[in-house]
Amino acid sequence: MKIDFKKEKENIVIYLSGELGNFEAKEIMHEAEAILAIYKHEDVVLDLSQLTFMDSSGIAVIMKIFKNTKDSRDFTVRNTPSMAMKVFSTTGILKFVKFA
């Protein structure tokens, strides 16, 4: 699992690549929070195009970013692979987190 970030216009885009399970999720949460602490005002985009596997740990990662951003800025998840979308669809997360 790799986490990268890039400033794109008014957004900070976080890219996840590889497999995201419980083992990987802990570090990803810490890193994502560190990125959000540096870029305090930008809207946040999570790009999942390079994700090769994801279980319910991905939901916890998204909830963490959602809680961190919901009062102050926009948060969008984009380029979700179909296998990850299937995990999200099983849960209620699509109702309150924005997927593009």
Partner 1 sequence: MKNIINSMSMKFESRSVNEAFARQSVAIFATQLDPNLDEINDIKTAVSEAVTNSTVHAYPENIGYITINAKIFSDNSIEITIKDKGIGINDIEKACTPMFTTGGDERSGMGFTIMDSFMDKLSIKSSQSGTTVTLMKKISPRCTGGK
Instruction: Name residue, tokens 């099983």.
Output: 90
CB nearer to partner 1: pick between 42 and 57: 57
Binding test (CB under 8 A) with partner 1, winner from 2, 6, 7, 26: 26
Q: What are phi and psi of 67, to 5 degrees?
A: -65, -40
Q: Which two tokens stand for residue 68?
A: 């961190």
Name the residue nearer to partner 1 (CB basis): 11 or 93: 93
Give Cα 43 distance to the centre of its chain. 12
C-alpha 26/C-alpha 92 separation (Å) is 22
Cβ atoms 3, 31 nearer than 8 A: yes
Interface segment toward partner 1; rule CB under 8 A; list 9-17, 32-40, 41-49, 51-59: 51-59
Q: Of the two residues 2 and 26, which places its CB atom closer to partner 1 in the complex?
A: 26
Binding-site ranges for partner 1 (CB under 8 A): 19, 21-23, 25-26, 29, 53-57, 59-60, 63-64, 67, 82-83, 86-87, 90-92
